[in-house]
Amino acid sequence: MFDLPQLDLKNKVSAQEWQLRVDLAACYRLVDHFRWGDLIYTHLSARIPGSDHYLVNAFGLTFDEITASNLVKVDLSGNIIDDTPFNINPAGFTIHSAIHEVRDDAHCVIHLHTKETIAVATQKNGLLPLSQYSMFSLPSLSYHGYEGLAVNDDERKRLQDDLGNTNHMLLVNHGGLTVGPTVGDAFMRFYDLQRACEIQL
Protein backbone atom coordinates (compact mmCIF):
# COMPACT_ATOMS: atom_id res chain seq x y z
CA MET A 1 0.00 0.00 0.00
CA PHE A 2 1.22 3.49 -0.81
CA ASP A 3 0.52 6.86 0.77
CA LEU A 4 -2.63 8.41 -0.67
CA PRO A 5 -3.05 12.16 -1.06
CA GLN A 6 -4.95 13.46 1.97
CA LEU A 7 -7.95 15.48 0.83
CA ASP A 8 -10.35 17.37 3.08
CA LEU A 9 -13.56 18.20 1.26
CA LYS A 10 -15.95 18.28 4.18
CA ASN A 11 -16.04 22.07 4.40
CA LYS A 12 -15.79 22.58 0.63
CA VAL A 13 -19.01 20.82 -0.42
CA SER A 14 -22.63 21.07 0.68
CA ALA A 15 -23.78 19.08 3.71
CA GLN A 16 -25.98 17.03 1.38
CA GLU A 17 -23.07 16.14 -0.90
CA TRP A 18 -20.85 15.32 2.07
CA GLN A 19 -23.45 12.92 3.49
CA LEU A 20 -23.75 11.22 0.10
CA ARG A 21 -19.95 10.89 -0.02
CA VAL A 22 -19.94 9.31 3.44
CA ASP A 23 -22.73 6.89 2.48
CA LEU A 24 -21.10 5.86 -0.80
CA ALA A 25 -17.65 5.42 0.76
CA ALA A 26 -19.24 3.27 3.48
CA CYS A 27 -20.88 1.16 0.77
CA TYR A 28 -17.51 0.62 -0.91
CA ARG A 29 -16.18 -0.57 2.45
CA LEU A 30 -19.17 -2.93 2.85
CA VAL A 31 -18.50 -4.42 -0.57
CA ASP A 32 -14.89 -4.97 0.50
CA HIS A 33 -16.04 -6.47 3.83
CA PHE A 34 -18.26 -9.01 2.04
CA ARG A 35 -15.44 -9.77 -0.44
CA TRP A 36 -17.58 -8.87 -3.42
CA GLY A 37 -14.94 -6.67 -5.00
CA ASP A 38 -12.91 -7.45 -8.11
CA LEU A 39 -9.67 -5.63 -7.30
CA ILE A 40 -10.22 -2.23 -8.98
CA TYR A 41 -12.58 -3.32 -11.76
CA THR A 42 -16.09 -2.65 -10.49
CA HIS A 43 -17.90 0.50 -9.49
CA LEU A 44 -20.56 2.07 -7.33
CA SER A 45 -21.87 5.48 -8.33
CA ALA A 46 -24.30 7.99 -6.85
CA ARG A 47 -25.96 11.12 -8.18
CA ILE A 48 -25.43 14.32 -6.22
CA PRO A 49 -28.95 15.63 -5.41
CA GLY A 50 -30.11 18.52 -7.55
CA SER A 51 -27.38 18.10 -10.15
CA ASP A 52 -26.23 16.04 -13.11
CA HIS A 53 -22.98 15.21 -11.33
CA TYR A 54 -22.06 11.83 -9.94
CA LEU A 55 -19.60 10.35 -7.47
CA VAL A 56 -17.50 7.33 -8.40
CA ASN A 57 -14.33 5.67 -7.15
CA ALA A 58 -10.90 6.88 -8.16
CA PHE A 59 -9.22 4.55 -10.63
CA GLY A 60 -6.48 2.43 -9.08
CA LEU A 61 -7.75 2.48 -5.50
CA THR A 62 -8.99 -0.71 -3.88
CA PHE A 63 -12.36 -0.56 -2.17
CA ASP A 64 -10.82 -0.49 1.30
CA GLU A 65 -9.00 2.72 0.30
CA ILE A 66 -12.13 4.61 -0.74
CA THR A 67 -13.01 7.59 1.47
CA ALA A 68 -15.61 10.33 1.34
CA SER A 69 -12.92 12.77 0.24
CA ASN A 70 -11.27 10.75 -2.53
CA LEU A 71 -14.47 9.92 -4.41
CA VAL A 72 -14.36 11.70 -7.77
CA LYS A 73 -17.14 13.98 -9.04
CA VAL A 74 -17.92 13.55 -12.75
CA ASP A 75 -20.59 14.41 -15.31
CA LEU A 76 -22.44 11.90 -17.51
CA SER A 77 -19.59 11.92 -20.00
CA GLY A 78 -17.07 10.99 -17.32
CA ASN A 79 -15.48 14.45 -17.26
CA ILE A 80 -13.96 15.21 -13.87
CA ILE A 81 -15.63 18.25 -12.28
CA ASP A 82 -13.52 19.05 -9.23
CA ASP A 83 -9.82 19.66 -8.74
CA THR A 84 -8.52 16.25 -7.71
CA PRO A 85 -5.27 14.30 -8.12
CA PHE A 86 -7.31 11.22 -9.05
CA ASN A 87 -8.64 9.93 -12.36
CA ILE A 88 -11.51 7.55 -13.11
CA ASN A 89 -11.84 4.56 -15.40
CA PRO A 90 -14.05 5.94 -18.22
CA ALA A 91 -14.81 2.43 -19.47
CA GLY A 92 -15.96 1.45 -16.01
CA PHE A 93 -18.33 4.41 -15.86
CA THR A 94 -20.00 3.52 -19.19
CA ILE A 95 -22.60 1.25 -17.61
CA HIS A 96 -23.28 3.68 -14.77
CA SER A 97 -23.65 6.75 -16.98
CA ALA A 98 -26.01 4.87 -19.32
CA ILE A 99 -28.31 4.07 -16.40
CA HIS A 100 -28.10 7.47 -14.70
CA GLU A 101 -28.95 9.06 -18.05
CA VAL A 102 -32.39 7.42 -18.29
CA ARG A 103 -33.36 6.49 -14.73
CA ASP A 104 -34.06 9.54 -12.61
CA ASP A 105 -34.94 7.24 -9.71
CA ALA A 106 -31.60 5.44 -9.87
CA HIS A 107 -29.63 7.76 -7.60
CA CYS A 108 -27.23 4.91 -6.83
CA VAL A 109 -25.99 2.20 -9.19
CA ILE A 110 -24.01 -0.82 -7.96
CA HIS A 111 -22.33 -3.13 -10.49
CA LEU A 112 -20.15 -5.98 -9.22
CA HIS A 113 -18.50 -9.09 -10.66
CA THR A 114 -19.19 -11.62 -7.93
CA LYS A 115 -18.60 -15.29 -8.67
CA GLU A 116 -22.17 -16.13 -7.75
CA THR A 117 -23.96 -13.50 -9.85
CA ILE A 118 -21.78 -14.38 -12.84
CA ALA A 119 -22.47 -18.11 -12.41
CA VAL A 120 -26.25 -17.72 -12.14
CA ALA A 121 -26.30 -15.25 -15.04
CA THR A 122 -24.67 -17.91 -17.25
CA GLN A 123 -27.31 -20.54 -16.46
CA LYS A 124 -30.00 -21.19 -19.07
CA ASN A 125 -32.89 -20.35 -16.73
CA GLY A 126 -31.11 -17.64 -14.79
CA LEU A 127 -32.30 -16.88 -11.28
CA LEU A 128 -34.82 -19.42 -9.98
CA PRO A 129 -37.47 -18.95 -7.23
CA LEU A 130 -35.60 -21.11 -4.74
CA SER A 131 -35.38 -18.82 -1.72
CA GLN A 132 -36.89 -15.83 0.01
CA TYR A 133 -33.99 -13.77 -1.34
CA SER A 134 -34.77 -14.70 -4.93
CA MET A 135 -38.38 -13.66 -4.39
CA PHE A 136 -37.17 -10.18 -3.43
CA SER A 137 -35.26 -9.89 -6.72
CA LEU A 138 -37.39 -11.76 -9.27
CA PRO A 139 -40.32 -9.30 -9.51
CA SER A 140 -37.92 -6.60 -10.66
CA LEU A 141 -35.17 -8.56 -12.45
CA SER A 142 -33.87 -8.13 -15.98
CA TYR A 143 -31.02 -9.59 -18.05
CA HIS A 144 -28.48 -8.09 -20.42
CA GLY A 145 -26.51 -10.22 -22.88
CA TYR A 146 -22.73 -10.15 -22.92
CA GLU A 147 -21.14 -7.87 -25.53
CA GLY A 148 -17.54 -7.88 -24.33
CA LEU A 149 -15.96 -5.10 -22.29
CA ALA A 150 -18.50 -2.31 -21.81
CA VAL A 151 -16.65 0.31 -23.85
CA ASN A 152 -18.95 0.50 -26.89
CA ASP A 153 -21.32 3.48 -26.90
CA ASP A 154 -23.72 1.45 -29.06
CA GLU A 155 -24.29 -0.89 -26.12
CA ARG A 156 -25.64 1.90 -23.93
CA LYS A 157 -29.10 1.92 -25.56
CA ARG A 158 -29.41 -1.86 -25.39
CA LEU A 159 -28.42 -1.80 -21.72
CA GLN A 160 -30.96 0.93 -21.01
CA ASP A 161 -33.70 -0.98 -22.85
CA ASP A 162 -32.88 -4.25 -21.09
CA LEU A 163 -32.91 -2.62 -17.65
CA GLY A 164 -36.17 -0.79 -18.32
CA ASN A 165 -37.85 -0.06 -14.99
CA THR A 166 -36.32 -2.98 -13.11
CA ASN A 167 -34.07 -2.57 -10.07
CA HIS A 168 -32.04 -5.79 -10.36
CA MET A 169 -30.11 -7.03 -13.38
CA LEU A 170 -27.96 -10.02 -14.21
CA LEU A 171 -25.42 -9.33 -16.94
CA VAL A 172 -24.73 -12.62 -18.69
CA ASN A 173 -21.12 -13.80 -18.21
CA HIS A 174 -20.46 -10.53 -16.41
CA GLY A 175 -22.09 -10.02 -13.00
CA GLY A 176 -24.90 -8.30 -11.14
CA LEU A 177 -26.30 -4.80 -10.96
CA THR A 178 -28.79 -3.02 -8.75
CA VAL A 179 -30.15 0.50 -8.59
CA GLY A 180 -31.93 2.43 -5.86
CA PRO A 181 -33.14 5.84 -4.73
CA THR A 182 -30.48 5.79 -2.00
CA VAL A 183 -27.13 4.10 -1.49
CA GLY A 184 -28.70 1.95 1.21
CA ASP A 185 -31.53 0.78 -1.06
CA ALA A 186 -29.16 -0.14 -3.87
CA PHE A 187 -26.91 -2.01 -1.43
CA MET A 188 -29.76 -4.02 0.11
CA ARG A 189 -31.01 -4.94 -3.35
CA PHE A 190 -27.56 -6.21 -4.27
CA TYR A 191 -27.34 -8.08 -0.96
CA ASP A 192 -30.62 -9.88 -1.72
CA LEU A 193 -29.55 -10.67 -5.30
CA GLN A 194 -26.16 -11.95 -4.15
CA ARG A 195 -27.70 -14.15 -1.42
CA ALA A 196 -30.24 -15.54 -3.90
CA CYS A 197 -27.43 -16.50 -6.27
CA GLU A 198 -25.35 -18.04 -3.47
CA ILE A 199 -28.27 -20.17 -2.31
CA GLN A 200 -29.14 -21.27 -5.83
CA LEU A 201 -25.59 -22.47 -6.43
Q: What is the pTM of this model?
A: 0.90
Residues sharing a CB contact under 8 Å with residue 120, sequence separation 6 or more, in sequence order:
126, 127, 170, 196, 197, 200, 201
| Structure confidence at residue 28 (pLDDT) | 96
- For residue 107, being part of any structural domain is answered with yes
Give domain status of residue 4, yes or no: no
- pLDDT (tens digit per residue) in 90-129: 777 788 889 999 999 999 999 999 999 999 999 999 999 9
Among the residue ranges 25-29, 37-41, 49-53, the one predicted with the least confidence is 37-41
User: In CATH, what number is assigned to the domain containing residue 187?
Assistant: 3.40.225.10
List pLDDT tens digits, range 60-83: 899 999 999 999 999 888 889 988
Is 115 part of a structural domain of the chain?
yes
Within-domain flag for 9: no
Q: Is 138 a residue whose pLDDT tops 50? A: yes
What per-residue confidence (pLDDT) applies to 29?
Answer: 96
Give the whole-angstrom CA distance, residue 165 versus residue 141: 9
- Decide if 10 is inside a domain: no
Name which residue leads in pLDDT, 189 or 151: 189
Q: Which of 43, 178, 159, 184 is nearest to 117 (CA)?
A: 178
What separation in angstroms does the CA of 182 have from each of 17, 60, 89, 179? 13, 25, 23, 8
Q: What is the DSSP letter of 21?
A: H
Q: Is the pLDDT of residue 154 over 70?
A: yes
CA torsion 80→92→27→169, rounded to 10°? 130
For the chain, the average pLDDT equals 89
| Domain extent for 93 | 15-200
Q: Which of 20, 189, 163, 34 has the alpha carbon at shortest distance from 110?
A: 189
pLDDT at 14: 84
User: When comparing pLDDT for 40 and 70, which is higher?
Assistant: 70
Higher-scoring residue by pLDDT: 156, 29? 29
How many structural domains compose the chain?
1
In a domain, 196, yes or no: yes
Exposed (0-12), middle (13-18) or buried (19+): which is 5, by Cβ within 10 Å? exposed
Domain presence at residue 95: yes
Q: How sure is the predictor about 1, in pLDDT bands with cuts at 50, 70 and 90? A: very low
